[in-house]
Amino acid sequence: MQPPALAWEQVTKLYGDTAAVADVSLAVDGGSFVALVGTSGSGKSTLLKMANRLVEPTRGRVLLGGEDVTRGPAPAVRRRIGYVFQNIGLFPHLTVAENVAIGPRISGQPVPDVAQLLDLLELPRDVAPRMPAELSGGQRQRVGIARALAPGAKLLLLDEAFGALDPVTRDALGQRLRALHDELGLTTILVTHDMAEALLLATRVVVMKAGRVVADETPAALLAGGGGDAAQALVAVPRDQAARLAAVR
Ligand code: ADP
Ligand code: MG
């Protein structure tokens, strides 16, 4: 049997007396699309950062493809994980093409096919020689995802990656991400505070509250009322909005 693509085993991260993450055990199978939701401060970012060793757990361990991430050097782990943040941090003085290829270049890996990566993200190829400042926010975010995938990473972690985008761009990029996930056979974890986005894109929705996982359900189960109070409070937001929209005359 294949080990999970990524697993947290009884992981706790303390900052002083505060448990940012409290005894979380979570296994993510290869090929799944997990949405990680929860209010601000619930521990989502800390959980993700422990996967690529930006943060070290106080207790417990994180397994990547069945192997403890602390066993090898951190850069080797990071090459296997594509990581996308909200403030994507493209290098402003490098072209789009140089930004996309930066990871493999730094680590001495073969230069990726930038044109192909731009195609995957549905970016016109003529953005390749441009500087990041000459792109729209949505285009920059697409470049960030292309860069995350450039080392050939099959595991993609996105931390509020669409946060700064307008709703139309956000929706289009979410759908592109889901298609890309299916086409490339990725394992994707998308951190979002938008339950509608989670329900529409993911195959599994994990809800965090105060450092703990409080629900772990399929979108269908959540929409049918499962997952408990914290999860249902989040599901209520888009549902109430839809009902109010339907009532507008
Ligand atoms: P989320 O991403 O869900 O908003 P975080 O993982 O960023 O939540 O934070 C979880 C909790 O841990 C919060 O209470 C936050 O203030 C705290 N925290 C996160 N990072 C640090 C840090 N470097 N030092 C101290 N406290 C932190
Ligand atoms: Mg966060």
**CATH code of the domain containing 232:** 3.40.50.300
Number of domains in the chain: 2
* 3 state SS of 158: strand
Residues 28 and 105 grouped into a single domain = no
Phi, psi of 61 (to 5 degrees): -145, 160
Residues 132 and 242 grouped into a single domain = no
Q: At which of 130, 151, 172 does a domain end?
A: 151
Query: Does some domain include residue 208?
Result: yes
Spacing, Cα 20 to ligand 2 middle (Å) = 11
Of 208, 244, 204, residue with least CA distance to 222? 204
What pLDDT shows up at residue 33?
Answer: 98
What does the pLDDT look like over 174-222, one tens digit per residue? 999 999 999 999 999 999 989 999 999 999 999 999 999 999 999 999 9
Q: Hey, which of 12, 42, 46, 234 would you mutate to test ligand 1's pocket, going by the most ligand atoms within 8 Å of its Cβ? A: 46
CA angle 163, 24, 192 (to 5 degrees): 10
Spacing, Cα 206 to ligand 2 middle (Å) = 14
Q: At which of 108, 127, 151 does a domain end?
A: 151
Residues 104 and 55 grouped into a single domain = no
As for ligand 1, residues whose beta carbon falls within 6 Å of it are 15, 18, 20, 38, 40-46
Q: Give the span between the Cα atoms of 154 and 31, in whole angstroms.
A: 9
The residue segments making up the domain with residue 170 are: 6-80+154-247
Pairing state between β 81-84 and 6-15: unpaired
What does the pLDDT look like over 157-166, one tens digit per residue? 999 988 878 8
Atom 6, ligand 1: which residue's CA is nearest? 43
pTM of the model: 0.94
What does the pLDDT look like over 62-121, one tens digit per residue? 999 999 999 989 888 888 999 998 776 899 999 999 999 998 888 888 888 999 999 989
Residues 55 and 113 grouped into a single domain = no
Query: Does some domain include residue 85?
Result: no
- Enumerate residues 6+ apart whose C-beta is below 8 A from 230: 38, 207, 209, 214, 215
Atom 7, ligand 1: which residue's CA is nearest? 45
Spacing, Cα 47 to ligand 1 middle (Å) = 10
Residues 169 and 65 grouped into a single domain = yes
Spacing, Cα 35 to ligand 2 middle (Å) = 13
User: Percentage of the chain with pLDDT > 90?
Assistant: 78
Give kind and range of the element (H or E) at residue 36.
strand 33-37
Spacing, Cα 70 to ligand 2 middle (Å) = 23
176-190: buried (b, 16+ CB within 10 Å) or exposed (e) per residue? Answer: bbbebbeeeebbbbb
Of 189, 158, 163, 179, residue with least CA distance to 29? 189
Residues 163 and 63 grouped into a single domain = yes
Atom 18, ligand 1: which residue's CA is nearest? 20
Residues 158 and 103 grouped into a single domain = no
Of 55, 48, 62, 67, residue with least CA distance to 9? 62
Residues 140 and 240 grouped into a single domain = no
Residues 113 and 218 grouped into a single domain = no
Residues 71 and 193 grouped into a single domain = yes
Query: Does some domain include residue 90?
Result: no
